[in-house]
Amino acid sequence: MDYYSKQISDLIASLSMLPGIGEKTAQRLAFHILSMPIDQVEKLSGSIISARKNVRYCKVCATLTDQDICPICSNPKRDHSTIMVVEDTRDLAAYEKTGEYHGVYHVLHGAISPMQGIGPDDIKLKELMTRLSSEQVNEVIIATNASLEGETTAMYISRLIKPTGIKVSRIASGVPVGGDLEYIDEVTLLRALEGRKEL
């Protein structure tokens, strides 16, 4: 890429290492950055490095946060006896956006996937079990993804927890709200049928 000067080439190369950003998009972003006011560029560059440097796992639920204990775990108004287990911080955010869940979370940072060589020890499962033995917990809601890995992880966790006597539940699988039956896959349709509720 010697048709660009070194600084521009370096910027394009760095940007194109991000997921979903190919060389053309990286070029477009780079030239946009070059035309941005310097204070905005400083803010962008600063927020990248400071987020990476300061963000760590919450000591309780393992979500990504910039404090030792995240705002949810340190909030006394939350129901600390209900723990929702999610695969990553984005899934936590997805449930927080509903505004209707008042319990706390546990973030696994992955799901068990024998195909990808990710076993139970590679996700924050030990931390969950330690938490269950030391805190007063009534229910564990497993909200891993409805993928093969998510289901495997849910099964594995429920088998681990059941002997402790704590209630374990799994979020429902079925037709999404607004979904048109015609376009829904068979497995989802069967799940929706199995999970039917009396009206």
Question: Footprint of a copy of itself on this chain (CB under 8 A)?
Answer: 1-8, 10-11, 13-15, 17-21, 25, 27-34, 36, 38, 40-55, 64-67, 70-72, 88-90, 92-93, 96-97
Which residue number, 49 or 115, has a Cβ lying nearer to a copy of itself?
49
Element (H, E) at 19: none
Which residue number, 46 or 120, has a Cβ lying nearer to a copy of itself?
46
Give CA–CA dist 39/45, Å, rounded. Answer: 10
Structure tokens given for 32: 């946009």
Give least dist CB 74 to a copy of itself, A.
12
CA dihedral over 49, 50, 51, 56, signed as positive or negative:
positive
Closest CA to 131 of 72, 64, 69, 60: 60
Which residue number, 86 or 125, has a Cβ lying nearer to a copy of itself?
86
Give least dist CB 56 to a copy of itself, A.
10
Query: What is the pairing mode between strands 103-107 and 79-86?
Result: parallel
Which residue number, 51 or 129, has a Cβ lying nearer to a copy of itself?
51
Give least dist CB 128 to a copy of itself, A.
20
Give least dist CB 127 to a copy of itself, A.
18
Give least dist CB 107 to a copy of itself, A.
12
Sequence letter at residue 156: Y
What one-character-per-residue DSSP string does 86-122 give? ESSHHHHHHHHHHS---EEEEE-SS--BGGGTB-GGG
Which residue number, 97 or 196, has a Cβ lying nearer to a copy of itself?
97
